[in-house]
Amino acid sequence: MTAASLFVPHEQGYLPTEFARSPWSQELLHGGPVAALLAHSIEEVVGDPAYRLGRLTTDLFRPVPFAPLRVETELARDGRLVKAVRASLFAGEVEVTRAHASLLATSEPADPGPDIDSPRIPFPEEAQAQPHQDQPTAFANTVEWRDPPGATPHFTRWLRVPLPILPGVELTPAVRAAAVSDFVSPLSNMRLDGAGAPFINADVTLYLHRPPLGEWLALAVTARDCNDGIAVSAAALHDQTGPVGRCLAVSIPLPSRATP
């Protein structure tokens, strides 16, 4: 039997599995697997470990259906220091999501500079019960999570994606970071009592200054501002050795399910 993964190969490109579903609808995909698939495709286009993903912006301007998908990529600039890649995700003939990435040349030695406002996030050794176990399979229920001791409830969380992007294709550090980046929206928009995240994000941007180590990554919300129903959020991204980057998103209130 084929091992579980977020996507499987399909004659049109990729077919999502149940583990990539959205929490809002079983007919849609969660933003995390979508960003991960685009990051995977972008890394394949460049194919040079001397260039690392520095920024990935995923525009979630349409719901991504639970259906066969294909990715079209373009190396927009093949520079010596910066490579720019565009990737579009299609369902049939409709473009549903688009990503823009910057991959930067690494250099040695490099001055690390000062770390500003980047305290370590403690990692809890004890596992907690997973959320929503009584709900249908979806990405949010597949991801493992742990709350760090002493953190503000809901605003800081360790996350682990236990599945590969494709059968036999493990998550690279950048793809793993992309897979959890979308959680900046529910974590930042969660009410203090934990009763739901009534906002949905229109995009997510991931910045990485180094590749994350290990399978567990933490998001710690650092800012959220909201006016006229538009919320802008930011979170620090950590691995167990320290900060690795930032995630940002702009969100709006989730429309009523009765709204067409």
Write the pLDDT tens digit of every residue in 117-159.
667 888 887 666 555 555 678 999 999 999 888 766 578 999 9
| Better pLDDT: 256 or 247 | 247
Taking Cα atoms as reference points, which of 76, 63, 75 lies closest to residue 34?
63
Q: Which band of pLDDT confidence, cut at 50, 70 and 90, is reported for residue 259? A: very low
Cis bond leading into 114, ω under 30°? Answer: no
Q: Specify the CATH number for the domain of residue 142.
A: 2.40.160.210
Average pLDDT value for residue range 243-247: 96
Q: Which band of pLDDT confidence, cut at 50, 70 and 90, is reported for residue 108? A: confident
Whether 191 is in a domain gets the answer yes
Distances (CA, A) of 151 to 74, 123, 154, 222: 41, 11, 8, 12
Q: Which band of pLDDT confidence, cut at 50, 70 and 90, is reported for residue 194? A: low
Answer for the pair 237, 182: CB distance below 8 angstroms, yes or no.
no
Q: Is the pLDDT of residue 105 over 70?
A: yes
Report, in this order, helix, strand and coil percent for the chain, each rounded to 5: 15, 40, 45
Q: Compute how many other C-beta atoms are within 10 angstroms of the C-beta atom of residue 62.
A: 13
Q: What is the pLDDT of residue 2?
A: 52
Q: What is the pLDDT of residue 254?
A: 81
Helix, strand or coil, per DSSP, at residue 46: helix
Q: What is the pLDDT of residue 260?
A: 30
Q: What is the pLDDT of residue 11?
A: 94
Q: Which band of pLDDT confidence, cut at 50, 70 and 90, is reported for residue 24? A: confident
Number of domains in the chain: 1
Contacts of residue 192, Cβ cutoff 8 Å, sequence gap at least 6 = 153, 154
pTM greater than 0.85 (yes/no): yes
Q: Is the pLDDT of residue 171 over 90?
A: yes
Average pLDDT value for residue range 212-224: 95
Q: What is the extent of the structural domain holding 46?
A: 7-105+133-253
Write the pLDDT tens digit of every residue in 196-209.
567 999 999 999 99
One-letter amino acid of 115 = D
Whether 127 is in a domain gets the answer no
Whether 24 is in a domain gets the answer yes
Q: What is the pLDDT of residue 152?
A: 64
Write the pLDDT tens digit of every residue in 44-67.
999 999 999 999 999 999 999 999
Average pLDDT value for residue range 15-35: 95
Q: Is the pLDDT of residue 25 over 80?
A: yes
Q: What is the pLDDT of residue 55?
A: 98
Q: What is the pLDDT of residue 142?
A: 93
Q: What is the pLDDT of residue 117?
A: 61
Answer for the pair 229, 242: CB distance below 8 angstroms, yes or no.
no
Write the pLDDT tens digit of every residue in 223-237.
999 999 999 999 999
Provide the percentage of residues in the chain whose pLDDT is more than 90.
74
Whether 121 is in a domain gets the answer no
